[in-house]
């Protein structure tokens, strides 16, 4: 990518999209295209096709899509499947038709089998049953990864790049209690308990499952690095992680300190835990020369600071 290359960031107002805009602008890229959901419905193939025909973007970051935590995945599986597959299919077709140089698609660690060996390598995709609670979302993301590989193979190109970041967090995350991911939900719960003067917080599960978390701006930085090094990439997907995981109990302790909540935590073991462990093996991508730079503690401080400045993040 050159500084004047025409770049389209799909989903620019979300968690990853805002981080991409920040990083791209900081690195001097000025020819960036964005569209709100009201301006361009990415689930409508005709609208997407017309947009690509008119704007002719050279590079695309596909950070748009429907995401959510365990509750949302269980409640709206059809939405997670339909919306994500529709967006992916429409943008892949348009990017291929109008000669986009590179498009980055983002998968999710939930694509790997529920009982996958740890840390999870790229080759573990489709080698076992996936976690039931995120089945629809995982299938959509797996389809996107296979689509990248298939387009590249059929059209003899390296146009499509698939990255799989682990649990992402940061400013502009979704902090709703019903449809957020675990880290954002914990920030919201501890913040609410503190401001409401409560002396305890009840959390789902046992607190034993372990998760790897990566700051959104690190993922954005990895994405720009991938674009710059596209010629070195193989026709496969690449894991993007920190190499460090935390139990949900450890995460709750760190967040409670960040929020300055001084009460107690109780665990509702009648609620599901999800997969026991999800740690990515990111050796393939890190071997190209990229590494994350933001620690969990630093990232949480930044995220909570943003939350406080935006009316509690609601």
Measured CA to CA, the distance from residue 65 to residue 85 in angstroms comes to 9
Helix (H) or strand (E) holding 160: strand 160-165
Measured CA to CA, the distance from residue 297 to residue 215 in angstroms comes to 10
Torsion of CA 175, 179, 184, 187, to 10 degrees: 70
Helix (H) or strand (E) holding 204: strand 200-204
Whether residue 303 lies inside any domain: the answer is no
Residue 201 near residue 145, CB atoms below 8 Å = no
Q: Phi first, then psi: give them for residue 40, nearest 5 degrees.
A: -150, 115
pLDDT in tens, the chain (314 residues): 999 999 999 999 999 999 999 999 999 999 999 999 999 999 999 999 999 999 999 999 999 999 887 777 888 899 999 999 999 999 999 999 999 999 999 999 999 998 999 999 999 999 999 988 889 999 999 999 999 999 999 999 999 999 999 999 999 999 987 778 889 999 999 999 999 999 999 998 999 999 999 999 999 999 999 999 999 999 999 999 999 999 999 999 999 999 999 999 999 999 878 778 899 999 999 999 999 999 999 999 999 999 999 966 45
Whether residue 272 lies inside any domain: the answer is no
Any residues with CB less than 8 A from the CB of 287 and at least 6 apart, and which? none
Question: Which residues constitute the domain of residue 77?
Answer: 7-173+212-244+278-296
pLDDT of residue 314: 53
For residue 298, count CB atoms less than 10 angstroms from its CB and return exposed for 0-12, middle for 13-18, buried for 19 or more.
exposed
119 prior amide bond cis, ω within 30: yes
pLDDT of residue 38: 96
Q: Which two tokens stand for residue 117?
A: 């060996």
Alpha helices in 66-181 (DSSP H): 70-75, 77-97, 135-154
The reported pTM is 0.95
pLDDT of residue 196: 94
Whether residue 271 lies inside any domain: the answer is no
Q: Which residues belong to the active site? A: 137
Q: Which two tokens stand for residue 290?
A: 């990229």
Whether residue 20 lies inside any domain: the answer is yes
pLDDT of residue 177: 76
Whether residue 147 lies inside any domain: the answer is yes
Measured CA to CA, the distance from residue 243 to residue 52 in angstroms comes to 37
pLDDT of residue 104: 98
Whether residue 207 lies inside any domain: the answer is no
CATH code: domain of residue 167: 3.40.50.720
Looking at the 3D structure of the chain, how many domains does it have? 1
């Amino acid at each position: 990518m050159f500084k004047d290359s025409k770049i389209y960031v799909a989903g620019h107002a979300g968690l990853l999209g805002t981080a991409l805009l920040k990083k791209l602008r900081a690195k001097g890229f000025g020819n960036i295209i964005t569209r709100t959901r009201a301006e361009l419905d990415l689930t409508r193939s005709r609208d997407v096709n017309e947009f690509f025909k008119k704007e002719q973007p050279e590079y695309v970051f596909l950070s748009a899509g429907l995401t959510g935590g365990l509750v949302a995945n269980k409640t709206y599986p059809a939405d997670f499947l339909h919306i994500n597959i529709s967006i992916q299919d429409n943008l892949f077709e348009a990017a291929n038709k109008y000669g986009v140089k590179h498009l980055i698609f983002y998968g999710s660690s939930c694509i790997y089998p529920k009982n996958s060996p740890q840390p999870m390598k790229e080759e573990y995709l489709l080698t076992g049953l996936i976690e039931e609670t995120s089945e629809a979302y995982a299938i959509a993301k797996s389809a996107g990864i296979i689509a990248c590989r298939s387009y590249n193979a059929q059209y003899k190109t390296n146009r499509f790049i698939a990255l799989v970041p682990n649990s992402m967090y940061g400013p502009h995350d979704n902090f709703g209690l019903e449809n957020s991911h675990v880290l954002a939900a914990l920030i919201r719960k501890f913040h609410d308990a503190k401001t409401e003067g409560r002396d305890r917080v009840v959390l789902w599960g046992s607190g034993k499952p372990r998760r790897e978390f990566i700051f959104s701006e690190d993922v954005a930085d990895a994405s720009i690095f991938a674009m710059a090094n596209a010629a070195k990439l193989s026709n496969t997907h690449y894991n993007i992680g920190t190499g460090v995981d935390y139990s949900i109990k450890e995460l709750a302790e760190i967040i409670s300190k960040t929020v300055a909540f001084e009460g107690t935590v109780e665990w509702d073991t009648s609620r599901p835990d999800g997969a026991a462990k999800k740690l990515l093996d990111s050796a393939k991508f890190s071997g190209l020369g990229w590494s994350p730079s933001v620690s969990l503690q630093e990232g949480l401080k930044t995220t909570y600071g943003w939350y406080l400045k935006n009316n509690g993040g609601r």
